[in-house]
Each structure stands twice: as structure tokens, then as C-alpha cells.
Structure 1
């Protein structure tokens, strides 16, 4: 209990008003999480990904998914250490057990990752082009008409993912971008006319276009269906399933209390459920 008391004191400013605002049911449910987490030694959960705002942003701004994880694990007596690294490296480090978790993962990224029941949002593959360009995504055949920027290590919704994989060595069709801010680079390339289109999750694109001041220069051009994304845990970490369960219960409690909506509103995001 001492470990929890210290963690709770450190985060008192974040949690006092939250607890007062929660209904009895929501607080009771989340109390199970806090009791569970506080019964064990405090852990540091290393969370990695590249910049995928608004799910996860810079270390300073975090993003709504990192904010959720930080509050939930702090209430359970644990710390979250978030850092930007290229996605392919983030995933590899997590699968090797060198970090505890990645944010923004889907089951297609790896069947070996440990997923909870509660996603932190949804993703799709939405295309963006320069404003005024007539091209629109209309099935995989329409991709033959453009040069596309895609991100190294990313999984894209099918059939788009299959097209990118089949043409990833043909730079006349697909230009692969890496680094910790590959979407920023891709959008700048489209705006400059160096590439015809790039693609990302719709909510990420909408956020980035506003943030980068490109909303009047670039526009959405259709996309695929959507699916859930998660904070996923390393299969080589002994507490991976415990962490997933803590996160699940915390998200449910935050949704019931209204705290989830408060965080999402700051990023202009609607609840995905």
C-alpha cells in the first residue's frame, strides 16, 4: 500500500477531481485496478512508437492514448516512460522484450503481441492528395494511376497493404519513408508535388493537417474500412497480461466517469465505441 500511496500523492492533482467526478459504479470498478496494481511493486512500463498523433504525439504533448495509459497505470502504482522511436524498431524491441509496450498496434502487426479487450481507437487507410487533384481511391486498381508514399514497417488495410508490399521495391509506384516523423515528411512531399498521395488513419490525417497548417493545401481522397488499434504488450514480459487487464479496466472506468471524453475533447476526437 505504501507504493500506491506515494504514487497517488505524486499524481494527486490529476486524480482528486477525477475521483470526485466518478459515479459510484465507475469508481468501484477502477478501485479494483488500483488495489491490484498497488499490491505489487511499482513498475516502469516503457511505451514506444513513432509519432502518430493524436493517438501518441511528442514526449511533451503525449497524445490521448499516452495520457490514458499514464493516468491508468499511475493509479495502479506504475510509471509509464514514453519515447518516440521508429515504428519498425518499436515493434521489434517490444517483441524481443526490451520494452514493455507499443502504442497504436493492431493484431495484424504481430500475432505474438499481447492485446487486451479494449482498443484505444480505430484505424483505416485514408488517402490524401493536393487540393484540386481529381484522383480518388476507388479500389486497388486506382493506385496504378499514382505514385504513393508509405511508411516503413507500417501495416495497411487490405487490399492496399498487399499493393504496397508488392510494389515496395518500385520507387515509381511506392516511396517508403522512415524516421520518427514519417507522416510529416510524407505530407510535405505531397504538398510540394514530389509525390501524388500518401495514406494514414483518417483521424491522424485530420489532426496532422490542422497541426501542420496544410488543411487548405491537402484534402482527403477516400479510403478503406476501419479496425481497432491497441496498446499492446511484449509477449516476453511476465506481467504483460496483468498490464493489459489494468488498462482494460481503466479505460472502462474512464469512459463511465466521463474522464475519457474530457481527454478526447482536447484532441478533437470522438469516442470510438
Structure 2
């Protein structure tokens, strides 16, 4: 208890990516699977966690600027290594999938299959770890009229789903758990559907830590995460996932 009363504060920036990371509301204080894991790992080591709920692009900037110590989930991107240090242990490796209108027979079959389709994404979102071809396609200025970048605070994915239903965009790719969660939350199963396969590789996410903090502090925070994440494998991990009604396929 004496240790807890002098707890070191860990500042955490994170974006809305339910059910993995969730902004609490008047209806629910839940923060999502990954935040629950983070909380368990660091409070056990005497840390107090302070959260900043921000869009992903802002969260990345805040970690790079040293305004936050860490962000709990980000995919590996070589472009980011100059601003952040990645933990060794991933949060999860997610299978991706697409969401389209229910009457759309489209399936992903390599980059040729998305040509002419209107694609939704968000600012600062990087798909290169899942598919270099897909990332290059959405980055190519020649395709800008087919790529819709949706900015927002906590409802980007929700808005994308409504835009697909309204025929304003055609498809969106994400973590399959996120797609299923949003589809159910918005009650759009009659209008939209999830289609597989997704992109070529799984989406592997890692916590990232600011380079602005002292090296020794950062190394200690990363060590705590790496050891803590390993300790949650198995039943402890399943209990947290069950709380949010999701199951990861092996």
C-alpha cells in the first residue's frame, strides 16, 4: 500500500478501436481489452495510469512529442522508428477482413481487385505491415479520388459503416474483431457483411513508447510490458476477451 500511495504515473494516449480500446462514456466505464491488460500489468508494478482519449494521428504526435509516455497499440512501421520505440511483445496478431454492402459480391483477390472501388481509411492509418501493395495503392496520388480519409474523434469506424451502407464508399478493411463488434453495435447486419480473406498478412500490434523520456525509464516500461504480456497468456487473456464477448481465432 505504501508503494501504491507513491505510485509513478504512466501517461497513456489511445484511440477508439472497440472492443480493443474504448473511450469510456456515461453508459460504460469500460476501456477495452488492451487497456484492461495494460492496467493489470502496470498497476501490479505500482504505476498509476492517466489516460488521454484522442484520435490515432494525435496520439502518435503526442507520444513523439513526449506528451504521452506510450500508446498501447500500433502496427509496426519502419517510418515510425524515428519517433517511437516498440515493445518486443505484441498485444495481439489480428486477422483482417473487409466490410461491404450485403448485396455486393466483391471479394479481395489481390490489389487488382480493389481498382475502381471507393476505399475508406483514417488519417495516419498504415496498412503496410499487412500489405505493401494495399498501402502503396492508397498512397498513390493517382488513386486519390477513390480513397476517402475519414477524420474524427471516436466514431470514425462507425461513420465508415454508415457511408458504406449509404453507397458513399464501397469497402473498408480492419481487424475482424473490430468489424464484428461495430456491425453488432450499429445493428447493420441486414445491410452490411464481413468478407474474407482480408489482406495478405495478419495485423500485429505493439505498444509504442516515447523517445523523449529517459532511456532507463523507457527500457523499464518496455520490460514491464514484455514480461506482463507473457504472464497474461492463456486463461487470463481469455477472461479479459470474454468480458468483451470476443474470441481470437488461433
With normalisation by structure 2, the TM-score equals 0.86
Structure of larger gyration radius: 1
Residues 89-146 of structure 1, C-alpha deviations (whole Å, 9 max, x = no match): 1101101111111122122161132222221112455221011211111111111131
Residues in 2 aligned to 1:97 and 1:120: alpha-carbon distance in whole angstroms: 22
Task: Find out whether 1:92 has 2:61 as its counterpart.
Answer: yes
Q: Label 1:245 to 1:271 Cα distance change in 2 as closer, same or farther (>3 A).
A: farther
Deviations 1:159-198 (CA, angstroms, capped at 9, x unpaired): 2111111148723x11110112211111111112221112
Higher helix residue share: 1
For 2:142 and 2:173, how far apart are their aligned partners in 1?
14
Deviates more, 1:147-156 or 1:203-212: 203-212
Does the 8 Å CA contact 1:114/1:241 hold for their aligned counterparts? no
Moved over 6 A (4+): none
Distance 1:167 1:123 in 2: 29
Contact 1:66 1:82 (8 Å CA) reproduced: no
Distance of 2:230 and 2:96 partners within structure 1? 27
Aligned length: 236
CA pair 111-74 structure 1, distance change in 2 beyond 3 A: same
Describe the SS at the equivalent of 1:114: strand
Q: 1:71 to 1:272 in 2, by over 3 A?
A: farther
Q: CA distance change for structure 1 residues 241 and 168 in 2, over 3 Å: closer, same or farther?
A: farther
Deviation at residue 227 of structure 1 after TM alignment: 3.5
Structure 2: gaps (5+ residues) = none
Match of 1:142 in 2: 113
Q: CA RMSD in A?
A: 2.0
TM-score, normalised via structure 1 length: 0.80
- 1:234 pairs with 2:210: yes
**Unpaired segments ≥5 residues, structure 1:** 7-40
